[in-house]
Amino acid sequence: MPPKLLGADPEFSLWTPDTDEFCRAENHIRYTSQDTQFGLDGGCMVAELRPRPADDPQEIMKNIRSALRKGLCSSVRELVWRAGAGAGHCPTGGHLHLGLPFFWENRQNIYKLDAFLGYPLIALEHQDTGRARRHAGYGSLGDAREQPWGVEYRTPASWLISPAITSIAMHLAWAVATFFDKLPDPSRKDFPPLTSQARVRSYASQNLVILGALVGKTYVMDNIVRPWMFYTTVLGDWWERRDMRQTWGLLPTPTLNQVTGLRLSEADLLDATPKNGHSNIIWNETHHHISAIKTLCGALASENQKQLWVVGLKRKRGAAVLVSPTLLKHPKIPRLLLKLNLPFKAWPKHPRNQEHVLGLPFRLRDADPQACARLTRLVAGTLFQRIEEEK
C-alpha cells in the first residue's frame, strides 16, 4: 500500500488553570507508545498528537479532532492546553509528514518546502515566540528528516492553536505535497530573513499566488489565502495563550466570567451609558432571549456615531459567535474575541455592506444571558471607542 500523503505529530504544552504554571506532560500522561494517538513527545515534556494519516485535508482534520478528544479521558482534561511556538518554557512544533518517497533525490526539494510551506506558516507565528523557538535550536529553515514513507518537515511551530489555523496548515500541506513536482525551484538567496515579519509575509504571499495558479484559485483562496490573510493582516499573528480545549470545542461554551488582557469592568463603561436612554446598540427582539439580554446589557452611546446590530442565531448555526465582515476588519474586535477564549467565525454569505452585526448563538443565549450581555457591551464599547485594549 502506498504511503498516505499527509500526516502530522504536533505538540502542545500543559498548564495549571489556577496558577498558570507549566506542567511536565510525563507527570500527567503515562503512556509513550508511538501507536497511541494522544501521548508524549520524545522528551516527555510536552504532549503530542499522532493522528491517523490521510490523503485528504478534511479527513485528517477529523482525525486530529478525534486524537484531541482522546485526551479528555485522562487527567490532562483539567489542565490548560496551549500550542504555538512554546513561549518561555518548552518549544512545541507542528511537524508535518508528507508521503513523498522521492523527496531526498534532490536537495532543492528542501528549498521548495521552505518556500511554499515553511514561510506561509512562519508568517502566522508570533514573531517573538517563533524567534525564541529557533534560538533554542528548533524549527530553523530546512529542518527535515528522512522517513520510510517520505519526509518529516519540522520547521513550523505547533499550528494546533485553533481549528482555523490547523485547517490552513493541512490544506497548505496537502496542496504542496500534491503538486510538489510542479512547483518551481526557489532560489535560496531570495529567502528573506526570518527576523523581518513583514518581509516573511510578503514572500509567503507571493508563493501562495504561485501555488494557487497550480492547484486552483478557488481552492487556495477559500481554504488557505483568505483565512491566512485574516490572521496575518487583521489579527497580526496567532495568540498562543488560548486554551485549545475551548478553541476546539472540547469543553462547554465559556461563560466570560474571566476576561484577561483588557482594561475593563462594567464600571469602565458607566460614562458611556446615556442618561436619556438613547443607545447605539440595535436589537432584534423577536429572537429568543434577546429582550432579556438587552435589559442586562443596557444602553450604550457611541462617540463615533457607529451602530451595532445584535441578533440571535438559530440553533442550527452552532455554538460560535458570528461576526459581520466589518467587525472582522476592526483592528481590535477579533483580538478581543480571541482573548475571551470565545469561539467565533465570519458570518457565512453575509452581505459585504458596512453594517456591524453580532450574532449570538442559541446555546450561549440559553445558558448564560448575562455572558451575552457582557459580550455585547464589550464589543459595542470597543466599536464605539469606549474601552481600549491594554498594551
- What integer is the mean pLDDT of 224-245? 80
**What confidence score (pLDDT) does residue 160 get?**
95
**What confidence score (pLDDT) does residue 301 get?**
82
Would the pLDDT of 204 be above 90?
yes
**What confidence score (pLDDT) does residue 261 get?**
38
**What confidence score (pLDDT) does residue 221 get?**
83
Q: Where are the domains of the chain?
A: 6-245, 255-383
Minimum mean pLDDT range among 9-18, 153-162, 249-258, 382-391: 249-258
Residue 109 C-alpha cell reads as 526539494
Tell me how far apart the alpha carbons of residues 212 and 120 are, in angstroms, rounded to a whole number: 13
In angstroms, the Cα distances linking 372 to 88, 244, 295, 367 are 34, 22, 11, 9
In the chain, beta strands by DSSP E: 6-8, 11-15, 22-23, 38-40, 47-49, 80-82, 96-98, 144-147, 150-153, 281-283, 308-312, 321-323, 344-346, 356-360
Question: pLDDT-based confidence at 171, cuts 50/70/90?
Answer: very high
Query: Would you give the distance in Å from CA 252 to the centre of its chain?
Result: 18
Would the pLDDT of 250 be above 60?
yes
Q: Could you read off the pLDDT of 109-148 as tens digits, one per residue? A: 999 999 999 999 999 998 889 999 998 889 999 999 999 8
Share the mean pLDDT of the chain: 84
Tell me how far apart the alpha carbons of residues 238 and 258 are, in angstroms, rounded to a whole number: 20
Would the pLDDT of 332 be above 90?
no
Minimum mean pLDDT range among 32-36, 96-100, 309-313: 32-36
- What integer is the mean pLDDT of 15-44? 80
**What confidence score (pLDDT) does residue 267 get?**
39
Minimum mean pLDDT range among 4-8, 140-144, 346-350: 346-350
Q: Domain spanning 6-245 has what CATH number?
A: 3.30.590.20
Q: Let me know: does 77 contact 119? Beta carbons within 8 Å.
A: no
**What confidence score (pLDDT) does residue 88 get?**
59
Q: Could you read off the pLDDT of 251-276 as tens digits, one per residue? A: 764 444 443 333 444 434 444 555 55
**What confidence score (pLDDT) does residue 305 get?**
80
Minimum mean pLDDT range among 197-201, 342-346, 387-391: 387-391
Tell me how far apart the alpha carbons of residues 368 and 375 are, in angstroms, rounded to a whole number: 11
**What confidence score (pLDDT) does residue 263 get?**
43
- What integer is the mean pLDDT of 60-66? 95
Q: Look at 188 and 43; give whichever has higher pLDDT.
A: 188
**What confidence score (pLDDT) does residue 107 get?**
85
**What confidence score (pLDDT) does residue 270 get?**
45
- What integer is the mean pLDDT of 337-342? 79
Question: pLDDT-based confidence at 358, cuts 50/70/90?
Answer: very high
Would the pLDDT of 331 be above 80?
yes
- pTM of the entire structure? 0.71
